[in-house]
C-alpha cells in the first residue's frame, strides 16, 4: 500500500488525522476516531508505518492502553502492530521482493516502502508466529537470516 492509499483507507473509515507535537518518543496515538501523528516526521514511508499501526488500533484495541506497564495493554499494542505487519509486509511480497533482486534488509524495506525498523519488527513477528521459517506455496522463507528459497519438485 502506498502512503496515499493508507490515508484514503483511514478517511474511508471516517477517522480524522491530525499532526501534533508529542512529549517523549511517542509518534502516534489513536482515540475516538482520530489519529494523532507527530508533526515533523521526515518521510511518507515512516508516516505510513505509523498511520497503519494506529489504524490497527481502530480495528483491534479497546479503551485507553497508553499505560504499557499493564500486560493487557501491551498485548493490545502488539495486536495493532501485528495487524499492520500483515498488511504492509505480507509473506507473498517478501517472496516477490526476493525474486525482484532484493538482497538485504535495506533493499527489502525500500521495495516494500516501509522503514527498516518496521520491517525488522515484522520479521520478528513472523518468526514468533511461524518459527524458523514459513512455507508459502512453493517457497520457503527463513527469517534469520532472511532467505527465500523455491522448492523444486521432480516429476
Sheet holding 133-136, edge to edge: 133-136, 139-143, 146-150
- Alpha helices for the chain (secondary structure H): 3-12, 44-60, 71-88, 91-99, 105-112, 116-130
User: Domain-by-domain residue ranges, the chain?
Assistant: 1-88, 90-155
**pLDDT tens, position by position, 4-36:** 999 999 999 999 999 999 888 889 999 899 999
**pLDDT tens, position by position, 80-95:** 999 999 999 999 999 9
Question: What whole-number distance in Å separates Cα of residue 56 and Cα of residue 82?
Answer: 8
Q: What is the pTM of this model?
A: 0.90
Asked whether the domain spanning 90-155 has the same topology as the one spanning 1-88, the reply is yes
Domain 90-155, CATH among 1.10.3470, 1.10.10, 1.10.287, 2.60.40: 1.10.10
Examine the pLDDT at 154 and tell me if it is beyond 60.
no
**pLDDT tens, position by position, 36-77:** 999 999 899 999 999 999 999 999 877 776 766 778 777 877
Q: Rounded mean pLDDT of 113-129? A: 97
User: What pLDDT score does 65 carry?
Assistant: 64
User: What pLDDT score does 25 carry?
Assistant: 85
Domain 1-88, CATH among 3.30.70.340, 3.90.1150.10, 1.10.1040.10, 1.10.10.2910: 1.10.10.2910
Lowest mean pLDDT of 63-67, 126-130, 139-143, name the range.
Answer: 63-67
Cell of 112: 516494500
Amino acid at each position: 500500500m502506498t502512503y496515499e492509499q493508507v490515508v484514503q483507507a483511514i478517511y474511508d473509515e471516517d477517522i480524522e488525522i491530525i499532526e501534533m507535537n508529542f512529549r517523549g518518543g511517542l509518534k502516534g496515538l489513536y482515540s475516538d476516531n482520530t489519529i494523532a501523528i507527530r508533526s515533523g516526521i521526515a518521510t511518507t514511508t515512516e508516516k505510513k508505518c505509523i498511520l497503519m499501526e494506529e489504524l490497527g488500533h481502530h480495528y483491534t484495541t479497546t479503551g485507553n492502553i497508553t499505560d504499557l506497564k499493564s500486560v493487557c495493554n501491551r498485548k493490545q499494542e502488539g495486536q495493532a502492530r501485528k495487524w499492520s505487519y500483515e498488511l504492509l509486509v505480507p509473506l507473498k511480497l517478501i517472496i516477490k521482493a526476493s525474486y525482484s533482486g532484493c538482497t538485504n534488509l535495506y533493499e527489502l524495506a525500500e521495495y516494500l516502502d516501509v522503514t527498516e525498523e518496521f520491517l525488522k519488527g515484522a520479521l520478528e513477528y513472523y518468526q514468533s508466529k511461524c518459527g524458523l521459517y514459513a512455507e508459502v506455496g512453493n517457497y520457503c522463507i527463513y527469517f534469520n537470516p532472511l532467505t527465500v528459497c523455491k522448492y523444486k519438485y521432480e516429476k
